[in-house]
Amino acid sequence: MRKIIIYLFLIILSVFLIPILFTMQFNISNINVANANDVNAEQSPIVEQASPEIQEYNYKEYGTIKLFHEKTGEVEELEIDKYLYGVVSAEMPAYFGLEALKAQAIVARTYTIYKIINNQGKHEGADICDNSACCQAWITKEDRLARWEEDVREDYWNRIVTAVDSTAGKIITYEGKPINAFFHSNSGGATEVPLNVWGGSGYPYLQVVQTVGEDAYSQYNSEVELTKAEVIEKIKAVHSEIEIDFSQENAIQILERTESGRIRTVKFGNVNLSGVEARTIFGLRSANFTVEILEEKIKFAVIGYGHGVGMSQTGADALAKQGSNCEDIIKHFYVGVEIIDI
Ligand SMILES: [Zn+2]
């Protein structure tokens, strides 16, 4: 009787358990293969392979992110969409149109995954940091809530969560790869190509596009006034050879603008500056400006806010208010892209 039970047990073992073990082994080796492909990040496998297993794998691969906190030096591992609550709420006003917030969520998710794939090793032991000048702004839920008035707190937070959750898994691709999803505050009506800001070769999806309605935002117009001595001092810090006589008619001359209307070259006395350089030197909100020599001062009248490349956040809100949905908004600012679900 005991022997029969042992035989039965062995039969059950061979019929059920051994195939299960083989299947597990097979799955594990499958994952390893996918992992090895992914290390070769230049050729992102996200959409190049249409098989559902690979897509599911990638969703899991990017399920969490290691965030480097610049102030404390700590690395925190977060679920990607929870991380995105902190990004969207740090990067865009919560009272913007919901479709604009959704566009920002998709842009931020794309930017995050682009960073994971392309910037490995930049932050030791982490994928991304919380410094907007380096990677992408991020704020804790507690800090975010504390900065909102109590009566709007719950509504604002729910809008952020809705924007991220309703676009879960969505990213922007061009020719099958996640795009470098640049964004800025206000384009002044036309975006800029990256070549005119940072040089190098361009990205085909980042072109000059016009957006109506950006002039309704406080980020559209700004002014900077500096004394003549301050202007000379600021240029001198970079170009010691500066010589300028403000009484001369052509003391300051805009020589050329880019196709988007930003300054390509402006001449101060004997020195030529690029618009981007002038923006940095004089602390202007953008490279789209006019200069006026006043009696005592030099006045810069500036249009737009930020480098002008990719999605304009106020432009996104303007489009949302004109009835565009988040996909329309993204395809307006990033030319020829697809929005895929990973
Ligand atoms: Zn960083």
Same domain, 272 and 335: no
Same domain, 97 and 196: yes
In this structure, are residues 118 and 172 in contact, taking their beta carbons and an 8 Å threshold?
no
Same domain, 170 and 239: no
User: Which token pair is 238?
Assistant: 């970079």
Same domain, 94 and 144: yes
Q: What is the pLDDT of residue 36?
A: 27
Cβ count within 10 A of residue 245: 7
Same domain, 81 and 184: yes
- Long-range pairs for 112-117: beta carbons < 8 A, 24 or more residues apart: 112/62, 112/65, 112/80, 112/83, 112/84, 112/87, 112/136, 113/46, 113/62, 113/171, 113/178, 113/342, 114/178, 114/179, 114/180, 114/181, 116/62, 116/65, 117/41, 117/44, 117/178
Report CA(116)–ligand 1 centroid distance (Å): 11
Q: Provide the residue type at 41 as one letter.
A: A
Report CA(238)–ligand 1 centroid distance (Å): 27
Same domain, 101 and 82: yes
Same domain, 63 and 199: yes
Report CA(68)–ligand 1 centroid distance (Å): 8
Report CA(337)–ligand 1 centroid distance (Å): 25
Report CA(108)–ligand 1 centroid distance (Å): 14
Residue 36 within any structural domain of the chain:
no
The Cα–Cα gap between 86 and 89 comes to 5
Mean pLDDT by 10 residues, the chain (342 residues): 55 45 33 27 28 38 86 92 95 96 97 82 87 90 95 96 95 93 96 92 91 97 97 97 94 97 98 97 98 96 97 98 98 97 87
Same domain, 137 and 209: yes
Q: Which helix (H) or strand (E) holds 171?
A: strand 170-174
Report CA(115)–ligand 1 centroid distance (Å): 9
pTM of the model: 0.79
What's the half-sphere exposure (Cβ side, CA atoms, 13 Å) at 146?
5
Which is nearest to 328 in space by CA: 115, 105, 139, 103? 103
Q: What is the pLDDT of residue 119?
A: 67
Exposed / middle / buried, residue 193 (Cβ in 10 Å: 0-12, 13-18, 19+): middle
Report CA(134)–ligand 1 centroid distance (Å): 4
Number of domains in the chain: 2
Report CA(32)–ligand 1 centroid distance (Å): 29
Same domain, 69 and 177: yes
Same domain, 189 and 229: no
User: Which structural domain, as residue segments, surrounds residue 131?
Assistant: 57-215+308-341
In this structure, are residues 31 and 314 in contact, taking their beta carbons and an 8 Å threshold?
no
Exposed / middle / buried, residue 70 (Cβ in 10 Å: 0-12, 13-18, 19+): middle
C-alpha distances (whole Å) from 107 to each of 82, 112, 263 are 15, 9, 27
Report CA(203)–ligand 1 centroid distance (Å): 21
Same domain, 261 and 184: no
Which is nearest to 165 in space by CA: 155, 157, 174? 157
Same domain, 234 and 211: no
Report CA(111)–ligand 1 centroid distance (Å): 12
Q: Which residues pair with 225 in a beta bridge?
A: 299
Residue 298 within any structural domain of the chain:
yes
In this structure, are residues 126 and 72 in contact, taking their beta carbons and an 8 Å threshold?
no
Q: Provide the residue type at 191 as one letter.
A: T
Report CA(173)–ligand 1 centroid distance (Å): 22
